[in-house]
Amino acid sequence: MENNGKVLMQKYELGRLLGQGNFGKVYYARNMETSQSVAIKVIDKEKVMKVGMIDQTKREISGMSLVKHPNVLELFEVMASKSKIYFVMEYAKGGELFNKVSKGKLKEDMARKYFQQLISAVDFCHSRGVYHRDLKLENLLLDEFGVIKVSDFGLSALKKSRHQDGLLHTTCGTPAYVAPEVISRRGYDGAKADIWSCGVILYVLLAGHLPFQDSNLMTLYRKISKAEYKFPNWFSPEVCKLLSRMFNPNPKARISIAKIMADPWFKKGFNSKPVPRKAENEMAPLDVDAVFGSDQANVTAFDAKKDMAKLTNLNAFDIISLSSGFDLSGLFADNDEKKELQFTSMHTASTITSKLEDIAQRLKLKVKKEGGLLKLEGSNRGRKGSLAIDAEIFEFTPSFHLVELKKSNGDTLEFQKTMKKDVRPGLKDIVWAWQGEQQQQQHMHSS
């Protein structure tokens, strides 16, 4: 291992690689002063800045530093060098809870014990204004004593990101665990969405499989939005009752955490007083911006550039449905009558915009920006009026976009010919995959 034995900031000795993500690696390490085992997440600052993940990284730091609870993976400190950010975190020796369940369903008492710890953690996070938004088995780790540690606050939403109506508007999460209101892209209450995901986790612990699953994504959406699921016959009536209140598709009528904690099934053997963290572990409030230090100027420049294109949020589900194997084009129109084309791109919104402007210039089309749309309009009148194309950019992450090109005026045949002859070849440098065609690369997650 290239880092074995390497000493970081004269304090931590780095050991083996524990895992790898899009923007960095997680290593096992030892605090040389106290001999305490820790996990260190090393993030490449340049990569984070390049793809506009600064806000998400700051959110992760703020989210984790706000939450000190026995069932939440603790962040001990954050350090930064010129090129890297280091998160020093609690080391969860027991690995993912997912591995336990993959060997088979758990007994009711065991599942309840984990569920109680999960709900305690989530309740505490919500009281601090932190919503996780991506709760799933893979994000639940275990320490050496088998105690749950909720991890991965990369997607957590702090109250700051709420809109005026007090609802969250970014869509994220993992399809099978996500609440119906998140799919429908209406604003949603982060607390209620987390409760739905906790319900999915409890179901999986007891059943050994997911409540909502289907190889066809549209059918999966439908099942989630109508809360269509079945309880296995070994579920006790008390569990069924609790879960059906957690799986209420109407978030306003969904059970609250306080009511879950008052539920007789939940309360069985529950120790409601969590062990407080030791005071000496308290971290000084973090100056999150300071982590990015002297690079702050570049950060602002990047954000300003990104703001020029008004982006619409694209849902994680939509992205998955647009990846290979989920060709949903049949739902829209016959191929020979296609009035729209979609492609995904790993480039920033401003790169995509300038590429489309270049093509428009070559085709002598006028370019207008209108409420998040880029309108390309021709002047010569065809048999059905002049050709006009609307381009809309949907953001999944700042480095992963879906672009929809739609004929808004003119002849469909002329639109298709223009697409084939000029637009598609002109976009080839920035296209990752055209909707409905086998992907060139199979690494969905490099976004």
**Among 91, 107, 135, where does a domain finish?**
91
> Average pLDDT by consecutive 10-residue portion of the chain (447 residues)?
70 87 78 93 72 57 67 82 83 88 92 97 85 81 92 44 41 69 74 94 94 81 91 97 97 96 96 53 47 39 26 35 33 49 82 91 88 80 77 72 85 88 90 59 31
Q: Which residue is listed with tokens 């000493």?
A: 7
CA-based R_g, the chain, Å: 24
CATH number reported for the structural domain that contains residue 151 in this entry: 1.10.510.10
332 lies in the same domain as 396: yes
Domain total in the chain: 3
Residues linked to residue 405 through DSSP beta bridges, in sequence order? 341, 391
127 lies in the same domain as 263: yes
Instruction: Determine if residue 129 is left, alpha or beta; phi over 0 gives left, psi from -120 to 50 gives alpha, anything else beta.
Output: left
Inside any domain, residue 34: yes
DSSP letter at 418 equals H
Residues linked to residue 131 through DSSP beta bridges, in sequence order? 157
CB 62 within 8 A of CB 75: no
**CA nearest to 348, candidates 426, 435, 437, 432:** 432
Q: Given this model, what pLDDT does residue 342 score? A: 82
CB 207 within 8 A of CB 105: yes
61 lies in the same domain as 108: no
The values of phi and psi at residue 52, to 5°, are 70, 35
70 lies in the same domain as 177: no
CB 277 within 8 A of CB 70: yes
Q: What token pair was written down for 276?
A: 């407080």
**Among 252, 273, 294, where does a domain finish?**
273
Inside any domain, residue 283: no
374 lies in the same domain as 400: yes
242 lies in the same domain as 206: yes
154 lies in the same domain as 166: yes
Q: Given this model, what pLDDT does residue 322 score? A: 36
CB 39 within 8 A of CB 17: no
67 lies in the same domain as 112: no
Inside any domain, residue 351: yes
Inside any domain, residue 73: yes
117 lies in the same domain as 165: yes
Neighbour tally for 235: CB within 10 Å: 16
Pairing between strand 157-158 and 140-142?
unpaired
Range of the domain at 12: 7-91
Inside any domain, residue 291: no
Does 41 belong to an annotated binding site?
yes
178 lies in the same domain as 109: yes
Q: What token pair was written down for 138?
A: 């893979």
H or E stretch including 7? strand 7-8
- Give the chain's count of helices (H) and strands (E): 16, 18
Inside any domain, residue 290: no
Q: Given this model, what pLDDT does residue 37 score? A: 94
Inside any domain, residue 134: yes
Q: Given this model, what pLDDT does residue 321 score? A: 36
Q: What is the pTM of this model?
A: 0.60
Q: Given this model, what pLDDT does residue 77 score? A: 80
394 lies in the same domain as 411: yes
Report, as residue numbers or ranges, the catalytic residues: 134
Q: Given this model, what pLDDT does residue 261 score? A: 97
79 lies in the same domain as 152: no
**Type of residue numbered 90:** E
Q: Given this model, what pLDDT does residue 126 score? A: 85
Cα angle 196, 198, 200 (rounded to 5 degrees) comes to 75
Q: What is the DSSP annotation of 350-379?
A: HHHHHHHHHHHHHTT-EEEEETTEEEEE--
CATH number reported for the structural domain that contains residue 413 in this entry: 3.30.310.80
Neighbour tally for 268: CB within 10 Å: 13
Inside any domain, residue 279: no
**Type of residue numbered 224:** I
Q: Given this model, what pLDDT does residue 155 score? A: 33
The values of phi and psi at residue 38, to 5°, are -140, 170
